[in-house]
Amino acid sequence: MSQDLSPRLSLPLLAAGQAQKEMTHNEALQALDALVQPVVLSADRTAPPTEPAPGACWIVAVGAAGAWAGQDGTIAQWTAGGWRFSAPSDGWRCHVIDRSAGMVWGEGGWQDDLVRTDGIYLGGHRVIGPRSAAIAAPAGGATIDSSARLVINEILAMLRDHGLISS
C-alpha cells in the first residue's frame, strides 16, 4: 500500500482502516519537529556527524557522502530511528546557527538570506548596514555655493529619511 502524503510538507497521512496509526502519526510529528521554524546547526557539512543529538538538523551540502549521499540540499534530522531527510520547496527559510544568519531555498538551492544581522545584502554585497553617525549640514566658508548646499542638504535629508544616517 502506498503512503499518501500532504501536499506541502509531505507529511504521511492516515488511511482509513490503517493498522498501527500511531506510527504514521509519529512520523508526521517528527517531520513537523524539524520543519516548523527550522533551525540547523550548519549548511556546510557533506558528511553526517559521528554522534548527533536527537532532533539536531543540518542542511546537507552539495557533494554529500556516507549516510547523506544523494541528499544534497535536503534538511537532515537525526532521530532515534536514524536519519530523516526533507526536500525543501521554494521559499523555505531556515536559520543556520554556525552562520548566525538565515538561508532561503530558491532557484534549486540554498542561498544566504538578503536580510542578515549586520545589514541587507544584494548580489552578495552589503547595501544597507548599521546606522552611521550624524553628518553635519554644510556651513561657513569664504565662498558659499547655494546650489551645492541645496543639493547636499537634499542628499542628507534623503539619507536621514531612509534611516541610513542619524539626524
The reported pLDDT for the residue numbered 137 is: 78
Q: Residue 2: pLDDT band by 50, 70, 90 thresholds?
A: low
DSSP secondary structure code for residue 19 in this structure: S
- pLDDT tens digits along 125-158: 888 888 777 777 777 776 668 878 888 888 888 8
What is the structure's pLDDT at 1? 44
Task: Report the alpha-carbon distance of residue 137 to residue 159 in Å, rounded.
Answer: 12
Dist CA 71 CA 77 (whole Å): 12
What's the pLDDT tens digit per position in 3-57? 787 777 677 777 777 788 877 777 777 777 767 788 999 999 999 999 999 889 9
What are the beta bridge partners of residue 77? 57, 84
**Buried b / exposed e across 135-160, counting CB within 10 Å, b at 16+?**
eeeeeeeeeeeeeeeeeeeeebeebe
Backbone angles phi, psi at 86, to 5 degrees: -125, 120
Q: Under a CB-based contact definition with an 8 Å cutoff, are residues 72 and 127 in contact?
A: no
pLDDT, the chain, mean:
85
Place of cell 557522502: 65
Amino acid identity of residue 117, one-letter, is T
Q: Which residue has the higher pLDDT, 47 or 1?
A: 47
Residue whose cell numbers read 547523506:
68
pLDDT computed for residue 158 by the predictor: 82
| Lowest-confidence segment of 73-77, 111-115, 135-139 by average pLDDT | 135-139
User: 554522534: which residue's cell?
Assistant: 51
Going along 1-118, which residue ranges are E strands?
Answer: 39-40, 57-59, 75-79, 82-86, 93-96, 101-106, 109-112, 115-116
- Number of Cβ atoms within 10 Å of the Cβ of 62: 10
Residue bearing the bigger pLDDT, 33 or 121: 121
pLDDT at residue 85 is higher than 70 = yes
